[in-house]
Structure 1
Amino acid sequence: MNVFIDNKRGAPIYDQIYSQIKAQIINGELKEDEALPSIRNLAKDLRISVITTKRAYDELEREGFIYTLPAKGCFVAPKNVELLREESLKKIEEYMQKIAQLAVSCGLSKEEVVEMFMMNWEE
């Protein structure tokens, strides 16, 4: 598992850890039931607080990406197809909001935007 912390980014460190592990789970780099580094070991490797690492793991567990077995550690949860679909829908909605804002600023009508979308869809 590779996690890199970028201190120049505006994102909080726990969020960077959370986002990178989540992305690795979604794209299959981390496999179902694969053990994650312990909270303490990851914190030591990244030279950050255990509290920060724990917060990232707690968020991943809360969203169903990992599970914890007492005295054994944290593991990648079985992929929940519905959860992954929701994640994709959320991204699509975010892109659509940006498209709508750009379209309004360019003076495009809904019909023109739909036409552009349909042309891209067909390609």
Structure 2
Amino acid sequence: MSTITRMPRTQVLVVMAVLIVIAELFANDIIGGGGADVGGWIGLSLFGIAVMALLVLVGVPRIPAGSRRTWILGFGVAAVILCAVFWSALPFAVAAAAFVAAAPGEEHPGETGPAPSSAGVILAALATVAAFILCIVG
């Protein structure tokens, strides 16, 4: 788990963007035949990536250090809830925010130490896996 929170912010963005695009391939029947919806695949992928970039690049840096733990847990819980409600792109975006916010030294670059909230990161990771599986299963 510490590997996820130690990845650079840009690497988290790229990995989660790739996951969103691949998950949307399955969710919109691009892979596996059926009624392929290319417009929905592109639209939902771009929407998820835009929300993720907004959360990671704008939202996370503005979180005060004193409430960082609460925010990480909130992102993890939100990812799980979004997985049940809208399992397509948003759980990945919110989970990425949890991963980046949990990075030690997020508030002070160069700082090292333990991740502030393991529960939020675990929930975000579980939501990511569940959302990906739900996109594949349909």
TM-score, normalising length from structure 1? 0.31
RCO greater where, 1 or 2, for CA within 8 Å and sep 6 or more?
A: 2
The structure with the larger Rg is: 1
TM-score, normalising length from structure 2? 0.28
